[in-house]
Chain A
Amino acid sequence: GNSVTQMEGPVTLSEEAFLTINCTYTATGYPSLFWYVQYPGEGLQLLLKATKADDKGSNKGFEATYRKETTSFHLEKGSVQVSDSAVYFCALRTRGNQFYFGTGTSLTVIP
């Protein structure tokens, strides 16, 4: 079956710290992979995506590389800011156009 597993939170970091949020997936076939972010009081927004193995998605200083060999799509940012405080969701989309999400990881960045 298809599923996404991401590291449990909450995660609390100081400003300018390095961020990693782990995400691994199980899928039949070759899914596309996504990171969505939900800021307080808002809907989920697409942060970045990768549609095939070895692709790197990047946006707003965040990066994630589609690793087929380790079935992973870890989210990283070199220097977080207070404004990055949000809930981050890893997701995969199958060829049949179904989305599967992880449980979400809450990030709080303190000044």
Chain B
Amino acid sequence: EAGVTQFPSHSVIEKGQTVTLRCDPISGHDNLYWYRRVMGKEIKFLLHFVKESKQDESGMPNNRFLAERTGGTYSTLKVQPAELEDSGVYFCASSPDWDGNQETQYFGPGTRLLVL
């Protein structure tokens, strides 16, 4: 079974540019999560999709970030325009239907974003 994949693995852009990150969850997983780790700090939750619907987007930092999951399969996270403080590692995770306490999230390798 293929794991969660993310593309690109690295991205270096200039301030003001646009970047789109992609996440392909494990096939059949309804739940998809985005997280971000800013250098040296904790991994922070950004948002949660259940299929194509945004279940919780309370962690999205501002309106420069737009996440979509059309069709309930892969998801994209667009940052427009990018700022220096957006630099970090963006992780995606997926999980099957939530079953009480049994949910385990499976993480992708992350996309390292550097905004210059």
Contacts and interface: CB of A to CB of B under 8 A. Distances in A.
Contact of A51 (B4, B41, B101, B110): B101
A22 to B, nearest CB: 15
Would you call the interface of chain A mostly helix, strand, loop, or mixed? strand
Contact of B101 (A32, A43, A98, A99): A32
Interface residues of B, number: 26
Contacts of B98: 97
Contacts of B40: 103
Contact of B3 (A36, A43, A52, A98): A43
Interface stretch (B13-21, B43-51, B61-69, B80-88): B43-51
Contacts of A91: 43
Nearest to A8: B40
B108 A97 contact: no
Interface in A40-90: 41-46, 49, 51-52, 89
A43 B4 contact: yes
Contacts of B104: 46, 49
A36 B37 CA distance: 14
A101 B105 CA distance: 13
